[in-house]
Amino acid sequence: MSTAALYLRAYDQQLRTDAETPSAIAVRTLGPLRLVTFPGGRGFVTYRDLAGADEPRVRDLVASALDHYREDPSVTRIEWKTRGHDHAPGLHDALVEAGFAPQETESIMVGPLQALAADTPPPPGVTLRTLQEEREVRAMSAMADIGFGEDPDPARADVLLARLARADGMELWVAELEGRMVSAGRLEPVPGTEFAGIWGGVTLPEYRGRGIYRALTAARARSALAAGKTLVHSDSTEYSRPILERQGLVKVSTTTPYEWRC
């Protein structure tokens, strides 16, 4: 079995379980689906596989999942997380016809944490640190939204603050230059697995290409190794994928979120 296949098997077996949604406030199973509700009115649909469902069964699952969330008036948006290696006949058409819109496809990257943890000093003048204080978390979240080309959304900061309050192991990292936050990312050790997740990595456009993201990634990897993790996973944009590949991670599949809003 190839290295990529071994990593993909570990990803499917260890991460596509409750470990995928540590901050959920409610989880219901519907056949092979896990229907998750997060704080802030966000629904999330995931699964290890679709249990061999044919196209009519896939359509039934989409409709039943949407009915479930429509019964909860607090849920205003839903993400259905698809993976490119799943057997899911007719899923794209069923989701689109139900009102879901496909978002940007990202690469699922998996590899050894040690490969990311090399002593990679930040560029001159750049400092790396973790955050805990509400004011700084909100500033980091707003900067990340801008880096991703979106309007700052205070609700995203609310979710991060709620997770910090639960002390579930998540760490928020930033890179600063001359007192300005210019890059950020999360580290999420996954309890009961070999994995830590590196998420939300973003650098403001005018600061890209300087090695800041790479240094921030290395700092997060060293922190995860200190917590006893050995593997890392990340859903990566086309900006971060080549950086992670150069550092030893392997693209094992793709993921495309489909979003529904009321």
Asked if the structure places residue 237 within a domain, the reply is yes
Work out the angle at residue 83's Cα, subtended by the Cα atoms of residues 228 and 22, and round it to the nearest 5 degrees: 40
Domain co-membership, 133 together with 244 = yes
Strands 26-30 and 33-38: antiparallel
Domain co-membership, 102 together with 115 = no
In the chain, what's the furthest Cα-to-Cα distance?
58
Going by C-beta distance under 8 Å and a sequence separation of 6 or more, which residues neighbour residue 159?
Answer: 23, 38, 39, 40
Model confidence at 90, in pLDDT bands (50, 70, 90)? very high
The 10s digit of each residue's pLDDT in 137-167 is 999 999 999 999 999 999 889 989 988 998 8
Choose one of 50, 76, 106: the last residue of a domain: 106
Domain co-membership, 250 together with 134 = yes
Domain co-membership, 119 together with 197 = yes
Domain co-membership, 48 together with 160 = no
Asked if the structure places residue 83 within a domain, the reply is yes
- pLDDT score at 218: 92
Choose one of 82, 106, 130: the last residue of a domain: 106
Asked if the structure places residue 194 within a domain, the reply is yes
Asked if the structure places residue 6 within a domain, the reply is no
Q: Residue 221 is encoded by which pair of tokens?
A: 């990897």
Global confidence as pTM:
0.85
Choose one of 73, 106, 139: the last residue of a domain: 106
| Averaged pLDDT of the chain | 94
Asked if the structure places residue 4 within a domain, the reply is no
Residue with tokens 């593997």: 231
Domain co-membership, 98 together with 124 = no
Domain co-membership, 59 together with 142 = no
Going by C-beta distance under 8 Å and a sequence separation of 6 or more, which residues neighbour residue 218?
Answer: 116, 117, 118, 119, 120
Q: Residue 242 is encoded by which pair of tokens?
A: 């080549």
Number of domains in the chain: 2
**Sign (positive/negative) of CA torsion 219, 223, 224, 225?**
positive
Model confidence at 247, in pLDDT bands (50, 70, 90)? confident
Asked if the structure places residue 140 within a domain, the reply is yes
The 10s digit of each residue's pLDDT in 171-228 is 999 999 999 999 999 999 998 899 999 988 899 999 999 999 999 999 999 999 999 9
Asked if the structure places residue 202 within a domain, the reply is yes
Domain co-membership, 102 together with 174 = no
pLDDT at 9 over 90: yes
Domain co-membership, 144 together with 198 = yes
Asked if the structure places residue 127 within a domain, the reply is yes
User: Which CATH number does the domain housing residue 249 bear?
Assistant: 3.40.630.30
Domain co-membership, 66 together with 150 = no
CA atoms within 13 A on the CB side of 110: 19
Residue 170 structural domain: 111-254
Domain co-membership, 240 together with 156 = yes
